[in-house]
Every structure is written in C-alpha cells, then in structure tokens.
Chain A
Amino acid sequence: GAVVSQHPSWVICKSGTSVKIECRSLDFQATTMFWYRQFPKQSLMLMATSNEGSKATYEQGVEKDKFLINHASLTLSTLTVTSAHPEDSSFYICSATSESSYNEQFFGPGTRLTVL
C-alpha cells in the first residue's frame, strides 16, 4: 500500500526557534499533500493543502508566514514552524493523495512538537 513517512517523529525546541518537518511519499507520487494539526483528544484540523510546484492554500485562521509549506517535488513536502511558541506545541500530521481524489488520503505517522 501507499506509505507516507514523516521526520522527525518528535522534536523539542526552545521558544523562538524554527522547526522543519518533512513529509515523504515513499512508493508513490503525491500530487497533493495536506498538513493537519491535532491537539490532545481533538480531531484533525486541516492547516493547508499543497500541490507540487505551487503555493499552498491555507485554511482560515492559519498564518501562512508562521507555517511555511514547501512542496518542491512529487514525493516531498515540508512544514516549517517559524519562531515557535509553546502554544504551537501539537501533533502535526501530513497526508498525501496519489490521484486526483482527496478522499483516499494516506497519512504519515505524525510529528509531536513540544516548544519549551
């Protein structure tokens, strides 16, 4: 089946620093990748949708200058949390679709970010 990896799986950083999270589709070309945030005991919250080679589309309320998304190739998307603060601590999950259907999303294992 389609496999999506994320790196790192967890990261702890100091307030004010930037953190980059990678999302890779290992055995398929991902035309679209999605970035979600999930707080404890809550559902997934879509942050942005990115298509290879174009700018990401951010959901309302998500700061595009704070959460930088780059989808440079069909197998790699990165999310950079700039000037991270404790309230950015969360579980960040990416997903990818292999065809022109958003419904069959393949999820990565997630990255747990803790900002001290």
Chain B
Amino acid sequence: DAGVIQSPRHEVTEMGQEVTLRCKPISGHNSLFWYRQTMMRGLELLIYFNNNVPIDDSGMPEDRFSAKMPNASFSTLKIQPSEPRDSAVYFCASSPQPQETQYFGPGTRLLVL
C-alpha cells in the first residue's frame, strides 16, 4: 500500500495567491483529516470528512480556507487568498473507520512570502 499521498510536497507562493493542496487517502479508508502544524500552535485539526461528507470544520481558521472531497480517493484544501501567516506544514491523514487509528501523509510544506 502506498500510504496517504499528498502533493505538492513543497509550495512557495506569494501573498494573495491561491494555493491548492491535494490528498489521496489510503484505499478503503472512510475518514479523511486535514491538519496544520506550526511551531507556535503545534498540530491542529482543520477539518475532517467521513464517507466524503464534512463532519467537523470548526478548526478551519477563516473563510479563506476551504476543503472538498469530491470522491473517496481525493481531497483538496484550498487557501484563497494566501497570507504569510498561513505558512506551515499541512498534513492529511486517513483512517479505515472513524474510531480507528489515523495514518498520516508526508505533509505539504507551505511558505507564503
């Protein structure tokens, strides 16, 4: 199994640009999670989906952030417009069932200049 796949692995962009992060969960996993990790705030859950449906988006920082899961094998996290304070590592994780262990992707390191 390839594990959770995220792309791009690194992204550098200028303030005001749109950024799209992509995630492919492990095949057969029904739950997908987006996290952000910074030195100041540690690891934070942004949003999670179950069976492609958003269950809890209370961690999404503001309206500039949006996430979609159009099918069971693909999810996106979009930031528009991006700001320097969005610079962080964004992780995607998936789990087979809601109550089971989450497996993390390698992360996308985002730098907004």
Please indicate whether A and B come from the same complex rather than being unrelated chains: no
Residues of B within 8 A of A (CB): none
Residues of A within 8 A of B (CB): none
